[in-house]
Structure 1
Amino acid sequence: MPDTPAWPSPARRFSPPARYCAANHFRHFTRGRYALGEAFRLAGIGRQGALLAPAYHCVTMLDPALALDAEIHLYPLQADLSPDPMALERLLGTIQRPVKALLATHYFGIAQDFSHLKAWCVDHGIALIEDCSHVLLTEHFRAAGTGIHGHFVTSSPYKFFACDDGGLLYAADAQRLDPVATTPATLIEELRGLKNAVERSRGRTLPSRDSASIDERLELLSATKLDWGNDQLIDRDGPSSLFSIASATTSSLRSSRFVVDHSSIDENIQRRRENYQRWVRTVAAVPNCRALFPLLPADCTPYMFPLHIDHPNPHFHWLKHLGVPIWRWDEMADSTCEISCDHRLHLLHLPCHQALTEGQMDWMTAALEKTLRHAVEGVQ
């Protein structure tokens, strides 16, 4: 079996292709975070083995390592969110405990070239764990340039399909996964998953408001003293509430795998790219922001649209109060990476998933444009 076998072309609706290689190269989990935790464990992460992780991260990327009581070192990133090789080398020289693994992430569905990073890891005897949680990667399909460098590869198929759960662990060397054992979901969990999958397939709802109501609410919000909350970094010595030890070895639902296998990849890619490009066109003429990746690669399936805003206080909070479904990673661990420190509060994640309707995109783009054009006190 070759080290980097080629995945087949995109799946068609109701006709899933054969796996690109044998099923023993995969293990299924309820979430990508648990697949990641198993990859950490297999790589030797724990009290005796340290992890190198990207400074820009969500809590669930570090939770599995914290659950293993591991020492974590955050490496700096460059402007395109690729690892800074010189900073990485300097950081490695300061670590006393053996470094067993490096976590590298393809952010927002845009593939990074990790070929040099893999060579660096091999030279230093470090396992490369390729995080494809923002990438369209299943047993039958992978986005170009992803899933080919890591000794272990993890993904979160449920983020791209209307299913209730789904995390995937892959290894080109199937023997690496021999120690992995998962527990199947119960019948009750399967039935609950089917119910949730049906509800998800009906689409997601957003507030039904016209442009006039956005203007009215922005005027009210700008005249109201809002609580910005606590933007301070939080030190943690254990996993967050999003990580469940009880769920760490549970296999994903059979219904979820059925949905992934029988959904149209072509339609998924097309709709996500259209919505992403819609965001790019919208923000091109809007002040106080910039698209982090305005040029979408031809072979890319975006997960979210990353938007850098100039004034998170108040614009982020106004958007949240309006009901725009946006996210940011403001609970990151502390680091010296300037890019990550900036993105923690300034980088928004906007939805571009395939289930969004034209009306929902119209409302969200209008809300974003009106909010970012709205005057901020003390700013000319």
Structure 2
Amino acid sequence: MTLATPATATPRLPVMGWETFRGARDAPLPSLLAHPRHRLTTSGRAAILLALECVGVGPDDVVLVPSYHCPTMVAPVLTLGAQAVFYPIDEHGAPRLDWLQTHAPARAKAMLATHYFGLPQPMDANRAWCDARGIALIEDCAHAMFGRSGARAVGAWGDVAIASLTKFFPTPEGGILAINRDDLALPVLTPASPLQQVKAAADILHMGASHDRLTGLNGLIRGVFALRGLLRRPAPVPIAPAAAPIGDTTTTATPAVDERIEDVDANMALIDLPLSHRALTAASGWISTRVPRQRIVEARRRHYEVLLQAFQGDAGFHPLLPHLPADSAPYVFPLWVRTPDPGYLEMRRLGVPVSRWDRLWPGVPALPGDTGVAWSHHVLQLACHQDLTDADLRGIVAQVRRLFSA
């Protein structure tokens, strides 16, 4: 039996609500927002572009990028005219330094190393490898706003580090660029326009009301936005069918899948340089820096543990990693699924908060000892953020069991 899509879909990312302001101001883990030298950017993708600029990446340079990636990690490299060379990762998500030792091009200027799923990776070996070759280490903390990697806070290992605010805070935009090298300067960003400032504040409220998280104001806010939409609705224009993305053999798709493909294709486009050099709006910056953080860390860890226990003992799926590291605040719960299709598309159609990095950049090679390409197909990223309810978690577990259980 196919279940109907719920009227109010479970949020894939944090949303504004009265619960947002509950709990202690400080989290039990260090945060990139406490980094002594950082800038708030418009997005994590913009932060990667700024990081590349900071370390001097330009045309004809090579940037080392992991085989398991989101297109937003590659687009900034190409925007600057540089070349992305993909390297393999091991079963824990760490760079295969043995492969890089032999195959990394001499022109490599920077290496992007990622803390996947918000579970901090060891960075000391990456740091030493880059230092020995004069390669800049860009520490990708887009999934890891909070935590420690060995003896240091996440974000303290790279020459520069980047992060994404939208994955941990109820903001419509936002990223972080943090600099650890004394000889590198923070970029000067242009201020947001008044219209951009107002839109960001309105989007924060609208998202919360859309998910019924602002009790007493939900109806009023939704009504205002519905009226605005009616007043601004343009005349319908015929739209040509979109071309299928590379590697897609599906001839038809539901609207939800079409929207997902369009989003990924947009992420593969070159980056808007003026937008990347724009400062974050005041509303998004205020939310990211002022809301209590204890609840964020504790709720994410609690939700991850619930999913960890729920997904044991089934031949059709298993947690990708066996336990939750102590010094981490996860972004998502990575679940290995033996046969993820067509169940994954059904989950997306139903509004289950799940994603998958299944649109790797064209040209990613098959590399010895690599798990990245397999992860892109088999690993589902299930939401475990702080604004999920117990009912949301039960719904996620039920759909996984229904669609993937052996």
Shared fold by TM > 0.5? yes
Please report how far the alpha carbon of residue 175 of structure 1 lies from its aligned counterpart in structure 2 after TM superposition: 4.4
Aligned match of 2:203: 196
Partner Cα distance (2:185, 2:366) in 1: 35
Contact 2:78/2:270 (<8 A) preserved: no
Correspondence 1:155 to 2:174: no
Partner Cα distance (1:74, 1:356) in 2: 35
Partner Cα distance (1:21, 1:274) in 2: 26
Aligned match of 1:133: 142
Correspondence 1:27 to 2:27: no
Partner Cα distance (1:322, 1:166) in 2: 27
Aligned match of 1:221: none
With a CA cutoff of 8 Å and minimum separation of 6, indicate the structure with the bigger relative contact order.
Answer: 2
Please report how far the alpha carbon of residue 359 of structure 1 lies from its aligned counterpart in structure 2 after TM superposition: 1.4
Cα shift readout 1:60-94 (whole Å, capped 9, x = no counterpart): 000100111211111110000001110111112xx
Correspondence 1:346 to 2:378: yes
Partner Cα distance (2:290, 2:308) in 1: 30
Q: What is the alpha-carbon root mean square deviation over aligned residues?
A: 2.9
Aligned match of 2:356: 328
Aligned equivalent of 2:192, options 166, 185, 189: 185
Give the 5 Å matches for 1:1-380.
12-13=24-25, 22=36, 25-92=37-104, 95=105, 98-137=107-146, 145-178=153-186, 180-202=187-209, 204=211, 232=247, 240-241=268-269, 243-333=271-361, 334-337=364-367, 338-373=370-405
Partner Cα distance (1:336, 1:171) in 2: 33
Question: Secondary structure, in 3 states, of the residue corresponding to 2:278?
Answer: coil
Q: Which moved more, 1:35-44 or 1:300-309?
A: 35-44
Amino acid at match of 1:336: A
Amino acid at match of 1:232: G
Partner Cα distance (1:49, 1:261) in 2: 35
Please report how far the alpha carbon of residue 373 of structure 1 lies from its aligned counterpart in structure 2 after TM superposition: 2.6
Contact 2:166/2:173 (<8 A) preserved: yes
Specify every segment of 5 or more residues in structure 1 that has no aligned partner in the other structure, as ranges: 1-10, 207-228, 375-380
Amino acid at match of 1:190: Q
TM-score after normalising by structure 1: 0.80
Contact 2:148/2:327 (<8 A) preserved: no
Aligned match of 2:238: none
Partner Cα distance (1:82, 1:115) in 2: 11
Please report how far the alpha carbon of residue 312 of structure 1 lies from its aligned counterpart in structure 2 after TM superposition: 1.9
Partner Cα distance (1:242, 1:315) in 2: 32
Partner Cα distance (2:122, 2:62) in 1: 24
Describe the shift of the 1:242–1:254 C-alpha distance in structure 2 as closer, same or farther (beyond 3 A). farther
Question: Secondary structure, in 3 states, of the residue corresponding to 2:48?
Answer: helix
Describe the shift of the 1:330–1:248 C-alpha distance in structure 2 as closer, same or farther (beyond 3 A). same
Question: Secondary structure, in 3 states, of the residue corresponding to 2:333?
Answer: strand
Please report how far the alpha carbon of residue 198 of structure 1 lies from its aligned counterpart in structure 2 after TM superposition: 2.0
Amino acid at match of 2:194: L
Describe the shift of the 1:317–1:361 C-alpha distance in structure 2 as closer, same or farther (beyond 3 A). same
Please report how far the alpha carbon of residue 39 of structure 1 lies from its aligned counterpart in structure 2 after TM superposition: 1.0
Aligned match of 1:4: none
Describe the shift of the 1:280–1:239 C-alpha distance in structure 2 as closer, same or farther (beyond 3 A). closer
Cα shift readout 1:75-130 (whole Å, capped 9, x = no counterpart): 110000001110111112xx25x211011000011111111211111110100010
Please report how far the alpha carbon of residue 278 of structure 1 lies from its aligned counterpart in structure 2 after TM superposition: 1.4
Aligned match of 2:18: none
Contact 2:148/2:328 (<8 A) preserved: no
Specify every segment of 5 or more residues in structure 2 that has no aligned partner in the other structure, as ranges: 1-22, 214-243, 250-263
Contact 1:268/1:354 (<8 A) preserved: yes
Contact 2:166/2:172 (<8 A) preserved: yes
Describe the shift of the 1:242–1:264 C-alpha distance in structure 2 as closer, same or farther (beyond 3 A). farther
Please report how far the alpha carbon of residue 233 of structure 1 lies from its aligned counterpart in structure 2 after TM superposition: 7.6
Please report how far the alpha carbon of residue 280 of structure 1 lies from its aligned counterpart in structure 2 after TM superposition: 1.0
Cα shift readout 1:317-376 (whole Å, capped 9, x = no counterpart): 2322333221111111312244112111111110001011111112121111111137xx
Contact 2:191/2:278 (<8 A) preserved: yes
